[in-house]
Amino acid sequence: MQLWVGLGNPEPAMARQRHNVGFMAIEVIAAALRWPAWRSRFKGRITEGGVGQDRILALKPMTYMNESGAAVQAASAFHKIPPQEIVVFHDELDLAPGKLRIRQGGGTAGHNGLRSIARHLGTPEFRRVRIGIGHPGHKEAVLGHVLGDFSRTDRDWLVPLLDALAETAPLIAAGESEAAMTRIALLTRERA
């Protein structure tokens, strides 16, 4: 079993914020694969289903971003899922809007959700699906940017990217990160 975590903040007013793109990604994947309705568990909302030969537990922590690790640790401990089998979908300032990178481990780059998960798991060695939201250009503008809503023009790249993520879920589950990134790039180019 794998644990796929979408990062975001729980307040309904925050649903369209850039910081919630991890929630958006996991919701689109779960809907596309017709997983059951979300239910409360592990300080979050969960659903589960199959992707190819793999069983996936999807989690949206209902703590705030800086405490996401508590929900991740609770779910992974209960199901005995090692960090290498955890995939975290999150926003990434250092990638241009619409770009995506998948990598195993690494630093947290100041991302409070990743920092919390690494602290609660005792290791940063989980997989990350980094979804680019772009950098506003100045450090002082970062908070307003990540907590700002996606604009209507952002939907031109956001919707095709999230749909491509759902379509490539079997590659992500199989650990074929390079193939998944290539396929997502092709799909988003075709739909642009």
19 counts as catalytic: yes
Q: What is the pLDDT of residue 106?
A: 85
In terms of phi and psi (left: phi > 0; alpha: psi -120 to 50; beta: otherwise), the region of 123 is: beta
For residue 192, pLDDT beyond 90: no
As a whole number of angstroms, the distance between CA 38 and CA 46 comes to: 5
For residue 133, give every residue at least 6 positions away whose Cβ sits within 8 Å of its Cβ, in sequence order, or none. 18, 21, 91, 92, 93, 95, 97, 145, 146
Q: What is the pLDDT of residue 41?
A: 95
Q: What is the pLDDT of residue 87?
A: 97
Q: Which residues pair with 17 in a beta bridge?
A: 149
Residue 36 in tokens? 């059951």
pLDDT digits (tens, 9 = 90+) for 16-42: 999 999 999 999 999 999 999 999 999
Q: Does domain 2-191 have CATH number 3.40.50.1470?
A: yes
Q: What residue ranges do the domains of the chain occupy?
A: 2-191
